[in-house]
Structure 1
């Protein structure tokens, strides 16, 4: 398993949430805030974040809802994540940078297992064997599923495969993300995403800066 040099290791933050929760905006605002403090920051995303993973992204986020089974999705997401880890995240952490990722392994736990029904044992085993790493801090941007889904659909991109699965799917996702905070209370924090974006950004930045200063 590829790991960054522990003597120089940076800090790894992931942002999670349902489709349309605003986490991508918050990831960008967080990266800007951290750069303003003089820190080296790598802003990245999943699926994607490296050339190979971006190719897999197109397979996962386009097409019909029934294009892949949840088990196949888990395999594809894990393959993309491995490439992302090897080529982007681990090298950045080894340089001492702060990595801000729009999604990481928690999304697979929630989307493919909780919401889509892939066995949790499969998802956890794939992660343990192929990735074996967790973020230092995960922030779940929590918002109301109907409003978030409307925003996601309004974006009008062709990467809307999960949005087409409907409101009940988004509600299951929210339940799954909130359960993460109960499962990993030391790593996962829930942030109220129903507020104005700048208010959310202030909360996000405060949590991350406190974690950085407390290391």
Structure 2
């Protein structure tokens, strides 16, 4: 059966699909683990090497996503049904994949995202104590089952990560047990598919973490195009 322009290629032992062009890298982990910092460092290094890079994040890097982000993270929203919250995050992911991630991968770019499906499985699944299979089915459908070529889990104890915030958003403000379940789920997902995951102790020096990430990303870059060859405007 032929694949249409938005159907990723069938993937390996981790299940799902992996894009046949471009490189998809995701940073995951609990609050305050340094995902944004490491995303920017990887972007800078790749651009120095001459690759076209799209740096993005969830939730909120689309027009629809910005509205979703305001709802799910603003403490003023208050309590939401866990199902409502899961559906809102899935809507952000669907729009993100269709309008940002897939178009960039089809151009052969390296896409670096700060959070993706594993965050939904960890927060809306394990954190909210919802049925894993239902949350996963929803999010795999929303993202066309597109998987990152590499997911970097920055592992940090919740007490240490949350201590880095003077103020907390709606999710950061959840209790300690919630964040412990989130951390355990990230580690469980990584252990189940080591070929597509890198777990790094987020307490390590920033540059040491960045070097470990570069080592794992480098072998994947054969699918990426140089900046001069990739079409479209760099983000």
2:66 alignment counterpart: 54
In structure 2, list runs of 5 or more residues that go unmatched. Answer: 10-17, 225-235
Residue 32 of structure 2 aligns to a residue in which SS? Answer: coil
Q: Deviations over 1:6-51 (max 9, x none)?
A: 9971010000000111111111111111111000000000012212
What is the aligned residue count?
211
1:164 alignment counterpart: 173
Flag the 1:78–1:193 CA change in 2: closer, same or farther, 3 A: same
2:206 alignment counterpart: 197
In 1, Cα distance between equivalents of 2:209 and 2:66: 28
- Once the two structures are overlaid, the 10-residue window that deviates more, 47-56 or 30-39, is 47-56
Q: What are the within-5 Å matches in structure 2 for residues 19-58 of structure 1? A: 19-58=31-70
Q: Quick check: 2:89–2:120 contact (8 Å CA) kept in 1?
A: yes
Flag the 1:176–1:7 CA change in 2: closer, same or farther, 3 A: closer
1:80 alignment counterpart: 92
Q: Which has the larger Rg?
A: 2
Task: Kindly report the root-mean-square deviation, in angstroms, between the aligned alpha carbons of the 2 structures.
Answer: 2.2
Q: Could you tell me which of 4, 7, 15 is aligned with 1:3?
A: 7
In 2, Cα distance between equivalents of 1:186 and 1:70: 31
Residue 99 of structure 1 aligns to a residue in which SS? Answer: strand
2:231 alignment counterpart: none
Residue 27 of structure 2 aligns to a residue in which SS? Answer: strand
TM-score (normalised: structure 1) = 0.90
In structure 1, list runs of 5 or more residues that go unmatched. Answer: none
Q: Quick check: 1:191–1:200 contact (8 Å CA) kept in 2?
A: yes
Q: Deviations over 1:102-141 (max 9, x none)?
A: 0000000010111111211211221232222111110000
In 2, Cα distance between equivalents of 1:13 and 1:209: 11
Q: Could you tell me which of 166, 169, 187 is aligned with 2:196?
A: 187
TM-score (normalised: structure 2) = 0.83
Deviation at 1:214, TM superposition (A): 9.0
In 1, Cα distance between equivalents of 2:197 and 2:222: 17
Flag the 1:7–1:93 CA change in 2: closer, same or farther, 3 A: closer
The answer to whether residue 110 in structure 2 is matched with residue 101 in structure 1 is: no
